[in-house]
Amino acid sequence: MCQLLGMNCNVPTDICFSFEGFRARGGKTDEHSDGWGIGFFEEKGCRVFLDDKPSFESPVAELVRNYPIRSLNTIAHIRTATHGEICTKNTHPFQREL
């Protein structure tokens, strides 16, 4: 089963510390190695980073770890594939254009 990390704060808060431990679960301390993603709001904009590599080995996750994420709302996901191929389109958080 996949795992999620969510944060909802009343002031913009840094997620880097929490993300570091969560990232390790994606291939180092746990078996969730079939991709990962993170989405967060920066002011009125939304950023989403996805990768089909294990989060512990991902250069994109390293970029996120070093990025000063300060957000009111953040959600991250590490995947253990039970259905569907291991690829970026099957990693969360999914995006939809309305």
Longest dimension (CA), the chain: 38
Tokens encoding 2: 């996949």
CA distance 34 to 16: 21
Three-class SS state of 2: coil
Residue with tokens 């980073």: 49
CA distance 72 to 7: 7
Tokens encoding 66: 């070093």
**Positions marked catalytic:** 2
